[in-house]
Amino acid sequence: MRLKPINQQVVVLVGASSGIGRLTAIEFARRGAKVVVSARSDEGLDTLVDDMRREGREITAVTADVADFAQVKTIADTAVNLYGRIDTWVHLAAVILYARFEETTPEEFQQVIDVNLVGQAFGAMAALPHLRRAGRGALIHVTSIEGLRAMPFHSAYAASKHGVVGFLEALRLELRKEGAPISITNIMPGSINTPLFNKARTKLGVKPQGIPPIYEPEVVVETILHAAEHPSRDLFAGGSARMMAFIQALSPRLMDTLLLRTAFKGQKTDEAKSVAAPDSLYRPISGFNRIKGDFSAKASSLSPYTRAQLHPGLTTIITGLALGAGIALARRFTKNSGKATRGAPPYRP
């Protein structure tokens, strides 16, 4: 299938008040697309629209909670009423909770699922009829590497991301069976420097962070813009995400061992944060209407793997190198594990 150039598109972005979504909206608008943005935060949307309109860009905001299908449908209807169609739907809205599973309440687990999984499904449901009428288009869902490999403290978040991967796979097959010219893309970032960590609910006693290496939002935006013009199935944002997926497929036990050594301590900063601190789990909070988080000093704005991934020839070379490195690592692990005491180390917060 062929997708339109960005400057000829009507693009809807859900989850645009901060972080990856905010920068994606800016880049689409600057490249000439007609953009409709949505989020729960009026403040975040208002500042985004004001900034873009001062540049002379065409952008409209719709405040909506993705856990409510009627509100999601209003986003799609607004875009069609304004421009007559939707060419690309980008769904990024997400919330996150850092807590051991046994410390997670039923209400918290349900909220993460409602926003991150059900909200993504509602977005696809609202967009698909309009993409069909347009005759072609792209559904781009930003999930996480945790759609393939869960981290500790993320039982609800990882479950939601796994769920999105599952429904996208089913939807993709259904559309291919009927020959519908609609591209379905799953974008899986690694650790990205956004305000998500500032807005997270945490029961760790400290502000959380992503496991290094950390990438700037530009790395994810690059993949989204590519998928809007080039039909793509799965894209990884950050070479570390691709490596995690590869090791998980090669040896889940090896991935368990690596995460036991790095993921518990690696997700914690030294900055104290109480569970009573403001968070965005149930409602938006002010003060974080920006693109980047607090980790720019340790974040990279370029991922060589991500850049190469968008060029198939280079991807083949890099995948071959990664395969060799992964096999060597797995062999070393297998050899050493035979000498080690069996069983995982005890949990230490």
pLDDT of 79-108, one tens digit each? 999 999 999 999 999 999 999 999 999 999
Q: Average the pLDDT over 51-75 and give the result.
A: 97
122: its two tokens: 């509602």
Spell out the residues 6+ positions from residue 339 whose beta carbon is closer than 8 angstroms to its own.
Answer: none
Residue 341 — pLDDT band, cuts 50, 70, 90? very low
Examine the pLDDT at 315 and tell me if it is beyond 60: no
Average the pLDDT over 311-323 and give the result: 61
The answer to whether position 273 is within a domain reads yes
Instruction: Give domain status of residue 1, yes or no.
Output: no
Task: Read off the pLDDT band of 121 (50, 70, 90).
Answer: very high
What is the predicted pLDDT for the residue at 244?
Answer: 96
Question: Is 324 inside a domain boundary?
Answer: no
Domain containing 10: what range? 6-303
Q: Is 157 a catalytic residue?
A: yes
CATH number of 63's domain? 3.40.50.720
Closest CA to 24 of 48, 40, 43, 56: 48
Q: What is the model's pLDDT at position 57?
A: 97
Residue 159 dihedral angles phi and psi, to the nearest 5°: -60, -40
What local confidence, expressed as pLDDT, does residue 21 receive? 98
Is residue 102 a part of any domain in this protein? yes
Looking at the structure of the chain, the number of domains it has is 1
Let me know if residue 327 belongs to a domain: no
Reported as a pLDDT band with limits 50, 70 and 90, residue 348 is very low
Asked if residue 319 belongs to a domain, the reply is: no
pLDDT for position 53: 96
Domain annotation covers residue 137: yes
CA-nearest of 157, 299, 306 to 224 is 306
Per-residue model confidence as pLDDT tens digits over 211-265: 999 999 999 999 999 999 999 999 999 999 999 999 999 999 999 999 999 999 9
**pLDDT > 70: what percent of the chain?**
89
Q: What is the mean pLDDT of residues 195-199?
A: 96
Phi and psi angles of residue 80, each rounded to the nearest 5 degrees, phi first? -70, -40
Residue 239 contacts residue 214 (beta carbons within 8 Å): no
Q: Is the pLDDT of residue 316 over 80?
A: no
The whole-number average pLDDT for the span 72-77 is 98
Task: Name the least confident of 9-23, 146-160, 210-224, 309-323.
Answer: 309-323
Residues in the chain: 349
Is residue 344 predicted with pLDDT exceeding 60? no
Check whether 333 has a pLDDT greater than 90: no
Confidence of residue 311 (pLDDT cuts 50, 70, 90): confident
In-domain check, residue 337: no
How confident is the model at residue 335, as a pLDDT? Answer: 61
Q: How do strand 206-208 and strand 268-272 relate by DSSP bridges?
A: antiparallel
Task: Give the model's pLDDT for residue 225.
Answer: 97
* 114-123: average pLDDT: 98
* pLDDT at position 319 over 80: no
Cis peptide before 213 (omega within 30 of 0): yes
Residue 114 backbone dihedrals phi, psi, to 5 degrees: -65, -40
Cβ–Cβ under 8 Å, residues 123 and 174: no
pLDDT at 310: 87
Assign 323 a pLDDT band (cuts: 50, 70, 90).
Answer: low
* CA 249/CA 243 separation, integer angstroms: 10
End-to-end C-alpha distance for the chain, whole angstroms? 50
Which residue out of 157, 215, 282, 347 is catalytically annotated?
A: 157
